[in-house]
Structure 1
Amino acid sequence: MRLDKFLKVSRIIKRRTVAKEIADKGRITINGKLAKSSSDVAIGDVLVIAFGNKTLTVKVQALVETTKKELANDMYTVESETYKENY
């Protein structure tokens, strides 16, 4: 499954266009390698997503084409969530 679609279906990022934009700016890695929006995501992959002041690390648990909002969290597990300090 494409990275941008996974991020949208899992509801980590609400819109696919936003997911594509973030990935193409080099703010997402898959297993330590820089990812593009078209990169393939597989079960067991570790994604590191850099938002503005937050870095989210998740592990892919399942790949489904569509899902209900309540079941979207089953697609991944959060390994860490860190925030940058603003001084």
Structure 2
Amino acid sequence: MRLDKFLKVSRLIKRRTLAKEVSDKGRITINGIVAKASTNVKVGDELAITFGTKKITVKIEALQEAAKKEEAANLYSIVKEERISSEV
């Protein structure tokens, strides 16, 4: 499954176009490697997503083409959540 589609289905990012923009800016890594929107993800991969001053690391638990809101949280598990200092 494509990275942008997984982010949308899992509701980590609300829209697929936004997921594409975030990944194209290099703010998402899969297993430590910067990923593009078209990168394929598989069960067991670790995603690190940077949202402004917050970095979330999640592990992919399952892949589905579509998921209801209640099922979306079962597609991943949060490994680490950290604040990034905004020092310039």
Q: TM-score range by the shorter chain?
A: over 0.9
Percent of residue pairs bearing the same amino acid type? 59
Question: What residue in structure 2 maps to residue 80 of structure 1?
Answer: 80
The CA distance in 2 between the partners of 1:10 and 1:4, in whole Å, is: 10
Separation (CA, whole Å) in 2 of partners of 1:63 and 1:5: 10
- Give the RMSD, CA atoms, in angstroms: 1.0
Using the size of structure 2 for normalisation, the TM-score is 0.95
The SS at the match of 2:43 is: coil
Where structure 2 has 5 or more consecutive residues not aligned to the other structure, the ranges are none
| 1:24-70 CA-partner distances (Å, limit 9, x unpaired) | 00000001111000000000000000110100000000000001000
Runs of 4+ in 1 over 2 A off after TM superposition: 84-87
Long gaps (5+) in structure 1: none
Question: Shift of residue 84 of structure 1?
Answer: 2.4
Report the count of equivalent residues: 87
